[in-house]
Amino acid sequence: MTMTAAPAPAAAAWRRIDTGDRTIAVRQRAALGTTARLAIWPPEQGSAAMAAVDSVLAALDRQASRFRPDSEISWLHRKDGGLFMLSDGLAEAVSVALAAARWTGGLTDPTVGDAIIALGYDRDFAAMEAERPEPPRDPAPAPGWQAVQLDGPLLRLAAGVRLDLGATAKGLGSDRAARAALAAIARAGHPTGGLLISLGGDIATAGTPPQDGWPIRAADRPDSAEPASTEPGPAGGSQLIRLPRGAVATSSITCRSWRRAGRVLHHIVDPRTGRPAGGPWQTVSVAAMTCADANAAATASIVAGDQAVAWLASTGLPARLVGHDGGIRYLSGWPEHDGGRVEVPPGSWVYTGAGPRGGT
Comparing 39-53, 119-133, 153-167, 308-322, which segment has the lowest mean pLDDT?
Answer: 119-133
- High-pLDDT (> 70) share of the chain, %: 82
**Which pTM does this prediction carry?**
0.89
**Does the pLDDT value for residue 300 go beyond 60?**
yes
pLDDT at 130: 65
Say which range, 90-99, 105-114, 271-280, has the weakest mean pLDDT. Answer: 271-280
What pLDDT, on the 0 to 100 scale, is given for residue 146?
94
**Rounded mean pLDDT, 40-65:** 92
Residue 294 confidence (pLDDT) above 90? yes
pLDDT tens by residue, 178-214: 999 999 988 888 777 899 999 999 999 999 998 889 9
| pLDDT > 80? residue 66 | yes
Residues of the chain with pLDDT > 90: what percent? 63
Instruction: Using alpha carbons, list the distances in angstroms from residue 205 to 18, 40, 212, 310.
Output: 20, 10, 14, 27
What is the per-residue pLDDT across 206-260, written as a single tens digit (0 to 9) for each?
999 988 899 999 988 654 333 334 443 334 478 999 999 999 999 988 876 555 5
Contact in structure between 207 and 197 (CB atoms under 8 Å): no
Dihedral-angle region of residue 216 (phi above 0 means left; psi in -120 to 50 means alpha; beta otherwise): beta
What is the torsion angle, in degrees rounded to the nearest 10, for the CA atoms of residue 286, residue 289, residue 292 and residue 293? Answer: -60
pLDDT of residue 226: 39
Q: Is the pLDDT of residue 268 over 70?
A: yes
C-alpha to C-alpha distance for 238 and 226, rounded to whole angstroms = 13
What gap in Å lies between CA 281 and CA 311, rounded to an integer? 14
Q: Is the pLDDT of residue 262 over 60?
A: no
Q: What is the pLDDT at residue 41?
A: 84
pLDDT-derived band at 360 (thresholds 50, 70, 90) equals very low
Whether 123 shows a pLDDT value over 90: the answer reads no
Report the candidate in 264, 314, 319 with the shortest Cα–Cα distance to residue 287: 319
Identify the pLDDT of residue 278.
Answer: 86
- Please give the angle made by the CA atoms of 197, 201 and 204, to the nearest 5 degrees: 35
- 39 falls in which pLDDT band (50, 70, 90)? very high
Q: How far apart are CA 146 and CA 143, in angstroms?
A: 8
What's CA 217's distance to the chain center, in Å?
Answer: 16
DSSP class of 137: P
| Residue range 134-141: mean pLDDT, rounded | 75
Per-residue pLDDT at 97: 97
Quick one: pLDDT band at residue 118, thresholds 50, 70, 90? confident
* Average pLDDT score over the chain: 86
pLDDT at 7: 52
